[in-house]
A = this chain, B = another copy of it.
Amino acid sequence: MQENDRRSPGFTDLGELKIDVDRPRRTGAAEAVFAAGKTPDQVVRALTELRNAHPELPALATRCEPACLEAVKAAFDGVTVAETLAVVGDFPEPSLGTVGVVCAGTSDLPVAHEALYTSRALAMETHLIADVGVAGIHRLLAQEERLRSFSVLVVVAGMEGALPSVVAGLTDRPLIAVPTSVGYGASFGGLSALLTMLNSCAPGITTVNIDNGFGAAQAALRMLRLTDQTKD
């Protein structure tokens, strides 16, 4: 079973891992490690390569099991953990716009935190508005002005996932909806919230995968780079 170990332009080829070191230039963010299904050793190895390739950027691993998080904390200094996300290296100074992460219930906080910490690792300024679900709409309306003060909104909700529709009607900001798997019975692991967000009657909402706070932050980055005067 021969394997490839050539070094090619644009990526570092370690055989079973090929680090896409050219990605920051192309897409504005370094590759992150999707840890699910990888051994702790593979995750550490990939993070090491990312740190070597981009020492100025924190390296991220998502969907880490506890054993994986332990291995990462043992292997590196300066690891920040938020649920299943590991951030290796210092958070940069915020240099892009502001991301407001809004979440419907306290149970949605783990996903909101994934969005918040990823955003910070990508040099965005972050704010959290928590527990403003639509069953007590006045809690949300009390934040209306503040909602309009952020550049981009990430709205996180499980169960029926109605929050993004209401928020989108209150502001003109880009709104990234994140369905969560919070719920039971006919929530079908987040399917209910996902369908709600895809079918929103409020135009201009976009959606990411269930529980994908990481992806929402990445999308926010793409949007905020539009306003980045220092970029080119």
Seen from chain A, the residues whose Cβ lies within 8 Å of a Cβ on chain B are 1-4, 8-11, 13, 15-18, 20, 22-23, 26-29, 31-32, 34, 36-38, 42, 46, 63, 97, 104-110, 116, 120, 126-139, 141-143, 146, 151-152, 158-162, 165-166, 168-176, 179, 181-212, 214-216, 218-219, 221-227
Contact = CB atoms under 8 A, between A and B. Distances in A.
- Copies of this protein, total: 8
A162 B196 contact: yes
B134 A222 contact: no
A201 B127 contact: no
Contacts of A162: 134, 160, 162, 165-166, 196
28 contacts: A8-B138, A8-B139, A9-B138, A11-B136, A11-B138, A16-B109, A16-B130, A17-B130, A18-B130, A18-B139, A20-B135, A34-B105, A63-B184, A137-B137, A160-B161, A162-B196, A172-B222, A174-B223, A179-B185, A184-B209, A185-B199, A191-B195, A192-B196, A193-B199, A203-B214, A203-B219, A206-B216, A226-B227
B136 A18 contact: yes
Contacts of A184: 36, 63, 209-212
A204 B29 contact: yes
